[in-house]
């Protein structure tokens, strides 16, 4: 039973796979939008539905600068609980570059728009990532891979599970622990602590 559960989880992306996807994106239509959507998932830990729900005003201050913290409303989250998402400086820089192209965007406009200039639904964005990963040659990856990679990457760097649970918006650390993909680097680091 436990093996089936592990096999059904989204793939955790390696650094090489992330670079592979970013390289693929750079040669496709809408490269900056797709790059920033991917990095938002990888570097903020937001769910694909949360990313799809973002409006320009969720991430920008009145002066056009990028916020350090995004306050998701209950309507934007899976658990219907408002939460704060912290954006690292490197993601704020990427969002600023993206927003420089969206000069006509108003605060109520969707942050990420489809080719038809409409807001992505959570389902359409999830499908978009599925096909993006597939065409980039990364087998087994899905939109949830970004979230798992975010949590696993921070766990690898020694961030405690309680902080990870809070960042992920999980009420239970048991849920967060299932996201962490134990890898050889983590095991090497662990034995060096002896």
**Domain coordinates of the chain in residue numbers?**
10-142
The rounded mean pLDDT for the chain is 87
Confidence of residue 183 (pLDDT cuts 50, 70, 90): low
Percent over 70 (pLDDT), the chain:
92
**Range scoring the smallest mean pLDDT among 1-5, 46-50, 124-128, 180-184:** 1-5
What's the confidence (pLDDT) of residue 135?
97
What's the confidence (pLDDT) of residue 120?
96
| Statement: residue 4 has pLDDT above 60 | no
Distance (Å, whole) CA 92 – CA 189: 30
Percent over 90 (pLDDT), the chain:
59
| Statement: residue 174 has pLDDT above 60 | yes
Encode 116-132: b = buried (16+ Cβ within 10 Å), e = exposed.
Answer: eeebbebeebbebbeeb
Q: Measured over all CA atoms, what is the biggest interatomic distance in the chain, rounded to whole angstroms?
A: 56
CATH of 10-142, one of 3.40.1110.10, 1.10.443.10, 3.30.1360.120, 2.60.40.10: 1.10.443.10
| Statement: residue 19 has pLDDT above 80 | yes
């Amino acid at each position: 039973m436990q093996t089936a559960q592990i096999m059904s989880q989204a793939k955790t992306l390696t650094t090489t796979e992330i670079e592979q996807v970013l390289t693929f994106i750079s040669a496709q239509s809408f490269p900056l939008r797709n790059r920033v959507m991917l990095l938002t998932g990888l570097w903020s830990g937001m769910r694909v539905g949360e990313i799809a729900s973002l409006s320009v005003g969720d991430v920008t201050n009145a002066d056009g600068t990028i916020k350090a913290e995004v306050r998701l409303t209950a309507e934007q989250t899976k658990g219907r609980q408002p939460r704060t998402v912290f954006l690292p400086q490197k993601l704020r820089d990427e969002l600023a570059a993206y927003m420089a192209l969206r000069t006509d965007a108003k605060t109520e406009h969707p942050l990420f728009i489809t080719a038809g200039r409409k807001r992505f639904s959570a389902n359409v964005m999830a499908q978009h990532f599925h096909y993006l990963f597939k065409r980039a040659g990364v087998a087994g990856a899905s939109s949830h891979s970004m979230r798992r990679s975010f949590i696993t990457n921070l766990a690898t760097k020694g961030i405690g599970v309680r902080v990870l649970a809070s960042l992920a918006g999980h009420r239970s650390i048991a849920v967060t622990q299932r996201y962490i993909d134990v890898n050889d680097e983590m095991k090497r680091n662990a034995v060096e602590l002896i």
